Each structure stands twice: as C-alpha cells, then as structure tokens.
C-alpha cells in the first residue's frame, strides 16, 4: 500500500502551485525598513523644535499623510473590491464638518472628537452603501459623483455652518514654532492606521472575498460570499480614517468651507494616487500619494496655474489607465521586478 502524503505536504504542494513563483519575501529587512521609516518620521519634528525652520516640510509631510490616508482607504473599496468611488473626499468632508461643529458649538477639540468623526463618516458610508451597493456595476460610481455634488449643494446652502463662505475655527493656542506638531502626529497616526487597516483587510478572509468580487461578482456570489454585505461594509470601513483625517485637516486649516472637501478634483486625485501606485496593492496607494504630492508641488511651483494642473491630472490619469492600468507596484510585480521594500503583501 502506497504511503499517503500528510496533510501538510498536500497544503505545501498546493501553495507551490497556487502561489507559483512568489518567493517568500525577506520579512526582516522589510520590517526594519518600515520601522526605521516610521522612526524617522516620528523624530523629524525635533528638527523643527530645535531650529523652527522646518514648518514648510512639516506642512508637506502632513499633507502627504492626509493623502496616504485617503488613498489607502479608497483602495479598500476601489482596489480590493473593484468598486470605484469618485466621491471619497465626502468622507473627510463629513469628518471635518462633524468635528468642526462640535468645536464651534461645544468647544470640543477635534483631537478628541476625530475618532467620533470617523465613526460618523463610517455610518454615513453604511447608509450610502445600503442605497447604492445593492446593485452591481456602474450605478455605484455614478452615485458617488452625485454624492459629491449633493453634499456640496447641501452645505453651500446650510447657513448655520457658513454656507458657501464657510466658517472659521479657533486656532490651537500654541506658538507658531510648535503649532503644527500635534497635527503632524495626529495625521501620521491616521495614515499609519489607514495603511495598517488596508494591510490587515488584504490578508483577511473579508479581503479575499472583496478581491473575489473584483474578479467576478457572479462567481463570488455563487461561491457563497455575501457580496452586497461585503461591498457595503468595505465602503463604510473605507470611510473611517478619511473621516478622522478630515476632522484634523479642518482644524489645521482653521476653517470649514465646502470647497475644501467637496471638489471633484480632490476626488479625482485620490483615485489618481491609487491608480498611479497600483490598485489593490498595499504599498501602491502610499507610493502614489507621495509621488503625486511631490509632483503637484513641483508643477504648481513651476507653472502656478491651477487650470493646467487640472488638465495635467487628467492627462496623467489617462496615460496610466491606458498604458499602466496596474500602476507602478502592480506593473513591477507583474514583471517580477518589485523591490522587496515595496512588497508589503
């Protein structure tokens, strides 16, 4: 009688077949890289404390963290589940307005209420998802565009919160040298949280379900995945960190105004970051956000024109869609040239 292979052997053989040529990444060096990156970012403000001449860099990093948060969160619904949201900045808008209103009317600091703002954004996502994600396909995308326009219209006309002109928020009572620091750390924490969440989801059963939906929704449903529930949950979850980031951002800017949050261009840039970096990957949105912020800064400094900036955003998006639909990380991975440091699973 032939000896049957043990279960572990079978599992190992299957993994070899299904995972193919994926070489086990050297976890150690990658962990070290990420850890030192975080340490560097955490220690960077010391330069400001010491010299006071790094406010511009603090601002740029903070802005990058905001975008990393947005992109990594968008990726949960747009990348994993394949349902493109063209209105994700609405979440940060809701967060911003919730925390802003609590500050104005009750004097509660957005640093305390940011998680609450995140939860409210989540609930809002749940509601919106319940309406739009029961159907499949393009209706959702259309609805997200309408969502941006609708919320902007609503807030433009809501005089209590300043309408179109917005309302200013009190300053954080700190000297100019230190005033950016709490925002810096708050936003860094949000960004790390968002990336970690997207990593955990990617490696969960839930994430597997979402990716199955992106591949073939009918088959996913036949395979027993509650597709509607998963999509709605994914959309709601993807609203949490943007809601938090929005709360901090409003306080940081010291005013609330519909145009900060509810601009189509803002929504487009979130999508562009993820497309640029690589949809459905963990590192892609981070990379895309960093690159796009750098590029925007360069072009605005160079040409100064916002009109051309809009056209440039569109053109870049078009080129990526046609020639590199998988984005940087995805394309490199397909060619098996992805550096280990960017292979975050």
List residues near other proteins by CB under 8 A: 82-84, 86, 131-132, 134-139, 141-143, 145-147, 149-150, 153-154, 156-157, 214-215, 264-265, 268, 271, 275, 305-315, 317-318, 321-322, 325
Which C-beta is closer to other proteins: that of 92 or that of 132?
132
CB of 268 to other proteins, least distance (A): 6
CB of 107 to other proteins, least distance (A): 31
Which C-beta is closer to other proteins: that of 55 or that of 164?
164
The DSSP bridge pattern shows strands 255-256 and 167-168 to be antiparallel
Which C-beta is closer to other proteins: that of 30 or that of 136?
136
Please answer whether residues 60 and 67 qualify as being in contact, where contact means their C-beta atoms are separated by less than 8 angstroms: no
Rounded Cα gap, residues 184 and 40, in angstroms: 13
Nearest alpha-carbon partner for 277 in 263, 295, 291, 298: 291
Which C-beta is closer to other proteins: that of 48 or that of 132?
132
What is the enclosing helix (H) or strand (E) of 12? helix 7-19
Using only C-alpha atoms, what is the Rg of the chain? 21
CB of 271 to other proteins, least distance (A): 7
CB of 332 to other proteins, least distance (A): 19
- Give the sign of the dihedral formed by CA 340, CA 268, CA 239, CA 225: negative
Please answer whether residues 239 and 91 qualify as being in contact, where contact means their C-beta atoms are separated by less than 8 angstroms: yes
Which C-beta is closer to other proteins: that of 145 or that of 295?
145
CB of 296 to other proteins, least distance (A): 13
What is the enclosing helix (H) or strand (E) of 255? strand 255-256
Which C-beta is closer to other proteins: that of 147 or that of 195?
147
CB of 117 to other proteins, least distance (A): 23
- Give the sign of the dihedral formed by CA 36, CA 240, CA 83, CA 207: positive
């Amino acid at each position: 009688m032939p000896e049957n292979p043990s279960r572990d052997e079978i599992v190992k053989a299957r993994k070899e077949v299904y995972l193919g040529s994926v070489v086990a990444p050297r976890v150690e060096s990658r962990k070290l890289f990420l850890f030192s990156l975080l340490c560097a970012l955490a220690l960077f403000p010391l330069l400001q404390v010491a010299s006071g001449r790094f406010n511009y860099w603090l601002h740029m990093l903070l802005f990058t963290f905001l975008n990393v948060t947005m992109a990594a969160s968008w990726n949960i619904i747009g990348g994993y589940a394949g349902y493109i949201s063209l209105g994700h900045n609405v979440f940060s808008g809701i967060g911003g307005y919730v925390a802003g209103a609590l500050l104005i009317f009750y004097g509660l600091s957005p640093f305390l209420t940011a998680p609450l703002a995140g939860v409210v954004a989540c609930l809002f996502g749940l509601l919106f998802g319940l309406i739009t994600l029961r159907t499949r396909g393009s209706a959702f995308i259309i609805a997200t565009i309408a969502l941006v326009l609708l919320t902007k219209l609503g807030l433009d006309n809501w005089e209590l919160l300043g309408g179109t002109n917005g309302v200013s928020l009190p300053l954080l009572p700190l000297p100019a040298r230190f005033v950016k620091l709490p925002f810096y750390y708050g936003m860094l924490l949000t960004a790390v949280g968002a990336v970690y969440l997207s990593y955990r989801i990617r490696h969960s059963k839930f994430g597997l379900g979402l990716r199955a939906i992106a591949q073939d929704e009918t088959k996913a449903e036949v395979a027993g995945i509650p597709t509607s529930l998963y999509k709605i949950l994914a959309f709601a979850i993807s609203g949490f960190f943007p809601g938090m980031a929005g709360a901090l951002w409003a306080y940081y800017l010291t005013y609330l105004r519909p145009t900060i949050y509810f601009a189509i261009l803002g929504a487009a840039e979130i999508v562009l970051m993820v497309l640029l970096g690589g949809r459905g990957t963990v590192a892609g949105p981070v990379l895309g956000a960093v690159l796009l912020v750098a590029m925007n800064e360069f072009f605005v400094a160079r040409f100064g024109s916002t009109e051309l900036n809009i056209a440039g955003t569109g053109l870049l998006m078009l080129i990526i869609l046609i020639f590199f639909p998988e984005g940087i990380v995805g394309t490199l991975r397909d060619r098996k040239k992805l550096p280990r440091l960017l292979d975050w699973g």
